[in-house]
Amino acid sequence: MTCLRLILGDQLNARHPWFRDVDDAIVYVMMEVRSETDYVRHHAQKVLGIFAAMRRFGEALVKAGHRVEYLRIGDTRNQHSFAANLPWLIAQLGATRLERMEADEWRVEQALLEAFEASALPNAVVSAEHFLLERDEAARRFEKKVPRMEFFYRDLRRRHQILLEPDGEPRGGRWNFDAENRAKWPGDPPAPAWPWQKHDLRALWEEIEAAGVQTMGEPSAEAFGWPLTRREAQAWLKDFIAQRLVHFGRFQDAISGRSRTLFHAGLSFALNLKMLHPREVIEAAVEAFERGEADLADTEGFVRQILGWREYVRGIYWARMPNYATLNALDAKRPLPAWYWTADTKMACLRAAIGQSLALGYAHHIQRLMLTGNFALLAGCDPDEVDAWYLGIYVDAFEWVEMPNTRGMSQFADGGIVGSKPYSGSAAYVNRQSDHCKGCHYTHTKRHGERACPFNSLYWHFHARHQATFGRNPRLGMTYRSWEKMEPAERASTLAQAERYLAQVDTL
């Protein structure tokens, strides 16, 4: 009797009950496969990071006494998909039973479901024991009606007893300190550097290249920065709690040319690969608050991202897939501008956000939402293209979290499931939250004319062309009232400017 247990690249949860006991009748199987490297063009650091973390995880299992079959990308036996490798692995290992953890991505879950069925062996699927709400419950809760994130979040705060008074009321008398989290960063307090590692992954990069995997962005293989083991991820968490949590909330929505990472945690890669559990991350923040090292607004702001948004988008994904991937409520069709792959644009804010994405495989939330996402929304870019770009470029991008954020929150392609209004902003927003406008080629105060910032005319063009959809949205009342108040000639010039920009969008 031999049981084959499959571990995917984003299932590196060393504390899963699977690994508690060593059993010679169990073989853990891990595979580096082209089906996963090629379903979208990934950032080089994403492929490097996942493979390097998988290899370390496999080696640690062997060290702990477990049996492991690890298929490398260059292995000549590799058939390059989970489904194609399983039959020969079953035969070679003499497997009589198959087990796996639930996959986080719909595409992979379907492929594994079919592959396990096809084997005709007894099999079992277990929870990855990572999220704070089990997948089926999340999907069930959101099946008919998706609640607003705020109510879902309060519910999870109560269920997990996080930041509550003994009587069940929220600490500080409020559930949400969002209103205090919108400051521009003046450069002070200084933003501490992230604790980047310096892994030499050049040999692995050569293997990936030799296998012909096509990537984007800089591999930085000679000094690879992201954490690759649970121990490194724990050290990164400790560093965040000690250095950045204290200002996390206040500058959460800030954007700056002087810091690519500000006071953000940088924990999404480690979390999404399951090297860290969300509960331990939340607990570390709450304990820092209890010790008086962070105030309530910063701590609650951080907890909300993980307990609230992260669990919420996963629930939406599993409740609404596969249909969610086809939604295009605003009928957006334009290709993404070419400079999304090069950062070669005269707009200083987008040049910085895309440039750092290509360099690091990382941009923080408000860059993703209000710069690259906002531009694609205003320009009417095809959500399939936008999704593919986000799914590829970020080291933390896995469809369950990427898609509701992109297609939903950022592009409003889901027609309002994630958000009750589109996240649109003009240059006034960018100037309020960032230091990019000063010194930019474009003028943030101009709607039209020479060097007028494209965010302005595109903002009004977007709202004008979607007036039938959003005109009665109470959250957009002010926007439409301002539009109506504008002189007709001003409106016409603004729309004409937007048309000109859209006609030459690749040159902006």
Q: What are the residues whose beta carbons fall under 8 Å from the beta carbon of 85, sequence distance 6 or more?
A: 31, 33, 71, 78, 79
CB-count exposure of residue 73 (10 Å: 0-12, 13-18, 19+) = buried
Cα torsion through 358, 364, 365, 368, rounded to 10: -20
DSSP one-letter code for 70: E
Binding part of the chain for ligand DLZ, among 26-34, 326-334, 379-387, 418-426 by CB under 6 A, reads 26-34
Which residues, numbered 28-47, are part of the site for ligand DLZ (CB under 6 A)?
A: 31-33, 36-37, 42, 47
Instruction: Rule CB under 6 A: say whether 409 interacts with ligand FAD.
Output: yes
Instruction: Decide whether 58 or 217 has the Cβ nearer to ligand FAD.
Output: 217
Owner of token pair 């589109």: 422
| Residue 9 is a binding residue for ligand FAD (CB under 6 A) | no
Smallest distance, ligand FAD to C-beta of residue 194, A: 9
Please state the closest distance from residue 110 (CB atom) to ligand DLZ, in A. Answer: 11
Count, residues near ligand DLZ per rule CB under 6 A: 16
What is the spatial distance between Cα 321 and Cα 287, in angstroms, rounded to a whole number?
Answer: 36
Q: Could you say whether residue 277 binds ligand FAD (CB under 6 A)? A: no
Beta carbon nearer to ligand FAD, 29 or 316: 316
Collapsing DSSP states into helix, strand and coil, what is residue 126? Answer: strand
Per rule CB under 6 A, count of chain residues that contact ligand FAD: 27
Residue 50 site contact among ligand FAD, ligand DLZ, none (CB < 5 to 8 Å, cut-off depends on kind): ligand DLZ
Burial 259-269, CB ≥16 within 10 A → b, else e: bbbbbbbbbbb
* Distance between CA atoms of residues 495 and 405, nearest Å: 29
Taking the C-alpha atoms of residue 348 and residue 444, their distance in angstroms, rounded to an integer, is 11
- In three-state secondary structure terms, 224 is strand
Over the window 373 to 402, marking each residue x when it contacts ligand FAD by CB under 6 A and - when it does not, the resulting string is x----------------x---x-xx---xx
Neighbours of 359 (CB within 10 A): 15
Minimum distance, C-beta of residue 390 to ligand FAD, in the bound complex (Å): 5
Residues 332-361 that bind ligand FAD (CB under 6 A): none
What is the number of helices (H) and of strands (E) in the chain?
A: 23, 5
- 70 or 177, CB closer to ligand FAD? 177
Asked whether position 41 contacts ligand FAD by CB under 6 A, the answer is no
* DSSP single-letter state for residue 409: I
CA separation, residue 43 to residues 69, 214, 397 (Å)? 27, 9, 10
Nearer to ligand FAD, 337 or 373 (CB): 373
Q: Is position 327 an interface residue for ligand DLZ (rule: CB under 6 A)? A: no
* Shortest spacing between CB 306 and ligand FAD, in angstroms: 5
Which positions from 390 through 419 interact with ligand DLZ, judged by CB under 6 A?
398
By CB under 6 A, name the binding residues for ligand DLZ.
8-10, 31-33, 36-37, 42, 47, 50, 103-105, 108, 398
By CB under 6 A, name the binding residues for ligand FAD.
264-268, 271-272, 305-306, 309-310, 313, 364-365, 368-369, 373, 390, 394, 396-397, 401-402, 405-406, 409-410
